[in-house]
Amino acid sequence: MRRNFDVYDRAKELGINLGTFDDNVVSLAGAGIASVIVQESGLVYLSGTSGGTLPMNDDPERIEHGFAGAQEAADALITRLHWALSCGGEGDLNDVLYTVKALGMVVSPAGGATSAGPPVTNGFSFRWQSLFGGPKSDFAENGVDPGGFAGIHTRSAIGGFDGKFSIEPEIIVAVPPSLTQEIIMNRGWLFPLPPTMLEKVKSGRG
């Protein structure tokens, strides 16, 4: 089930900056929620992150703004997933077998007065496909990505929310159960890391 390309080559071509260990691998102390939960079954759940700065309506320029914000949110969750899988040396983005489910919550205070939910959330979904493979990938030809379909996913895109941003997407991916079990045994199921696990991971890096 392994894809025939290196995800990190695509990330570089797409201009996705994955940042540094010190900036991204931090303590869970004082956090209100987890950013990532890894499950023994191989499922990895990512909390949402916001993108864009404006509420949505049916104006094409506003949709374009939301689409771009959704792409930025995808990059943020890709970065988070990278460090959640790799910070202890257990795995990386190439271990993503397929993408399960995405949810796009689009800020459109007028509720049913706009149909911005799906086109805005497409910015997130298509970016994810560009990295992991899918019909709407930047690398697809005639709707077929030569790298496969690991990035396409089931999805709900819902509007009517309020807020000072455009969209908050979240996503669930699948990796080998052996990987999540190794992560849990080594440093637990949470990301960011509990303080003792953070110190353990830092010590292991030398």
Phi-psi category of residue 42: left, alpha or beta, with phi > 0 → left and psi -120 to 50 → alpha: left
What is the pLDDT at residue 161? 85
What is the pLDDT at residue 111? 60
What is the pLDDT at residue 3? 78
What is the pLDDT at residue 152? 97
Provide the token pair at 45.
């759940």
What is the pLDDT at residue 115? 86
Q: What are the domain boundaries of the chain?
A: 47-171
> Under a CB-based contact definition with an 8 Å cutoff, are residues 102 and 96 in contact?
no
Query: 125-163 b/e with 16+ CB inside 10 Å = b?
Result: bbbbbbbbbbebbebbeeeebebbbbbbbebebebebee
Q: Tens-digit pLDDT profile for the chain (206 aa)?
A: 467 899 999 999 999 999 999 999 999 999 999 999 999 999 999 999 999 999 999 999 999 999 999 999 999 999 999 999 999 999 999 999 999 999 999 999 866 668 889 999 999 999 999 999 999 999 999 999 999 999 999 999 998 888 899 999 999 999 999 999 999 999 999 999 999 999 999 999 97
CA distances from 136 to 19, 52, 109, 146, 150 (A): 26, 21, 29, 12, 12
Provide the token pair at 108.
């459109």
CATH classification for the domain delimited by 47-171, as one of 3.30.1330.40, 3.40.220.10, 3.20.20.140, 3.40.50.2000 = 3.30.1330.40
